[in-house]
Structure 1
Amino acid sequence: MNLDALIQRLHQIRENNDWRRFHSPKNLAMAASVEMSELLEIFQWLTEDQSRQLSAEQLEHAGQEVGDVVLYLLLLCSELGLDMDQVVRAKLADSERRFAR
């Protein structure tokens, strides 16, 4: 996955629709949270086992919501001047240090 290409495509969609004015860091964080809530809704009331055996329709819906969350987070990183790849790698390295056995 080429994050730079994805961000460029996102920016193009944003510019084509005049959404830049809405894409403050606050609004993008809130939008990502809303999409995460929509992802959670798929799993609401399922047992642990059921959550691991989603129907094809549920899997497709989950994928759409995951995509929404990731795209909003990419836009948020762009607005904050954060490099998503660097941020994720740094967090992973931190987790490896903290939780290594």
Structure 2
Amino acid sequence: MTTDLEELAVRLREFVRSRDWEQFHTPKNLAMALSGEAGELLAEFQWLTPAESQNLDSPTLARVRAELGDVTLYLIRLADVLGVDLVEAAHAKLDENARRYDPERYRGSARKAPPLPS
């Protein structure tokens, strides 16, 4: 993880430890909480048009910002509990996507690429 993510993971770890919440932070529980928070984020956009979603008013943007914070914290906590470096995982996934989605074939297209051979 980058320094900022590492610092945030340490701060979050201490926050959890001081409240004796480690017992509740199993990967399953964290993944479920992450999904719930992602759902709350999604709910903020549910009835907006594409144009409205690109031009959020201040109250909606504040709620979206808070939900993004929740999603980020649960994602960082889950990665920390599992010992996954999020930045490394994101780079690896981007490298894989670069191999799957040739710019010449996929420019301007939303279609999904077939999986890479094993």
TM-score by length of 1: 0.94
Query: Which residue among 96, 103, 107 is the counterpart of 1:94?
Result: 96
Moved over 2 A (4+): none
Q: Does 1:23 align with 2:32?
A: no
Q: Does 1:60 align with 2:58?
A: no
Distance 2:102 2:6 in 1: 31
TM-score by length of 2: 0.81
Tell me the residue number matched to 1:69: 71
Tell me the residue number matched to 1:2: 4
One-letter code of the match for 1:81?
A: G
Distance 2:69 2:102 in 1: 30
One-letter code of the match for 2:6?
A: D
Distance 1:42 1:65 in 2: 9
In structure 2, list runs of 5 or more residues that go unmatched.
104-118
| CA root-mean-square deviation | 1.1
Considering fraction of residues, name the structure with more helix: 1
Secondary structure of 1:82's aligned partner: coil
In structure 1, list runs of 5 or more residues that go unmatched.
none
One-letter code of the match for 1:20?
A: E
TM superposition shift of 1:100 = 2.8
Which protein, 1 or 2, shows the higher relative CO under an 8 Å CA cutoff with sep ≥ 6? 1
Secondary structure of 1:18's aligned partner: coil
Tell me the residue number matched to 2:115: none
Q: How many aligned residue pairs are there? A: 101
Distance 1:52 1:86 in 2: 29
| Structure with larger Rg | 2
